[in-house]
Amino acid sequence: MTRVSYKTTSSTCPSATTSVSKYLLTHTNNHPLTQPEVVTNNKSILDKTGSFMKGISYSAFNIYNIYLRLFIIFLCLLTAAIMPAFGQQAAQPSATDSVTKAYLQLKLYHQFYSQIDAEQRWTYFPADTVIRPGQASDLIYGIRSNLLLTGDLSATQDLATNTLDSLLVKALAKFQFRHGLTTDGIFGNSTLQAMNVPVSKRVEQISINMERWRTYTGVATQPYIFVNIPDFTLQVIEGDSVALKMKVIVGKKTSKTVLMQSEVKYIVLNPSWNVPQGIAAKEILPLLKKNPHYLTDHQMRIYSKQAGQRTEIHPDSVDWQSMTPANFHYLVEQIPGETNALGKVKFIFPNEYDIYLHDTAQRGLFSKTVRAMSHGCVRVEKPIELAAFLLRNDAAWSAKKINEFIAKGTESTGIRLRTPVPVSINYFTAWTDNNSQLHFRNDIYNYDIPVTKPALSSLTSKKIQAD
């Protein structure tokens, strides 16, 4: 592998760099995809453009440096042109401001990655490469080169060693964080796959998400709930900050969570679960054939339905072995309790897909990195905290009273929100955060199709079954 040499040059536009960075950071706070989580003291490419040009000027980068400088000057002029409109609402940025900011930041990164692709500066690595902290490998030089380009590694750090040292481990963890990976600092399979994505594909991915931002109307009313499916997260946005953030479990590939905007109007504590017919026939029936006591073991009741009336029947009165999904016409209900699939809380918002937010009895699933596991509904990590926030202006339902009622276990109640709270379920695989860092996520639903085709027009065309 060819070694890369580094030398110091001077920057000609520090004030321009500062202006762009200040603008991007100032107008970042209001958008749900621009909130930092755990990484600190990590300057982005935007903040590091000046030092990038000063500290890592490769012998072949002179033209590249000129290009970046000219581009920054252009962004300075663009910023000056649009700053007055933004400045008028600095204390309370609008949804339009946030979307404009998100789009402009991605546009800058699109130019940046396009230049990297054109100059073929990115290094790729052999399959099955694994390098652990403290290990030495000539591949380290390529890893360092890539992390310098992305701004995850500082050019002031020691670049001569071929060891995965502590500084490189931290830089690699930043890269992993920006790609939604486990931040262990190990150059293993998942990190290898993320770094081996062709830069041309990243350029295309940024373009697709720019188009999503261009057509995204935003949410004018605050607070609001923002779910990003590829990131497996839910955020409650209020003012210029994230009031609440949590992990979520979304629909698997065969039962995708539908993109939509609605309003949460009701909260149900200790909900029962009316099992969708498809789930009952295709999933519960096979379990019943193996274990006739499955319904009783899982606190489920079964009903026959005639003339619009449902009548509870005893599970032992049915010959389950002769039953098939085609002739399974019973209604199945799971009563409130510890094993209820909806957990302790359910958040209802009107939609034609029977989708809602809810708790889950399978709490261990939130420890997984990829959480596309549901039948279409969105399972939330912190349901009680979310309920308490949405009911915070209702004196009858403090957090203490919510917990006291939930402790009753089998008693269920519905609560109408005094003011409905908007919920927006979205699909973004590239965005920038509060520190202007670029984040990528895997395209779990294969929605990242070229922007020359209708990217989102048919994503809500099929009704799915909720869990």
Which residues are tagged catalytic? 358, 377
Can you tell me which residue has the tokens 């949804």?
95
Q: Residue 101, exposed/middle/buried by CB under 10 A (0-12, 13-18, 19+)?
A: buried
CB 100 within 8 A of CB 24: no
- Which residue from 358, 331, 349 is spatially nearest to 251, judged by alpha carbons? 358
CB 210 within 8 A of CB 225: no
Within 88-139, residue ranges assigned H as helices are 95-119
CA distance linking residue 251 with residue 274, whole number of Å: 18
In order, the DSSP letters of 323-344 are --GGG---EEEE-SSTT-TTTT
Question: Which residues, in sequence order, are bridge partners of residue 312?
Answer: 303
Sheet holding 300-306, edge to edge: 273-274, 331-334, 300-306, 309-313
Phi-psi region of 299 (alpha: psi -120 to 50; beta: other; left: phi over 0): left
3-state secondary structure (DSSP) of residue 405: helix
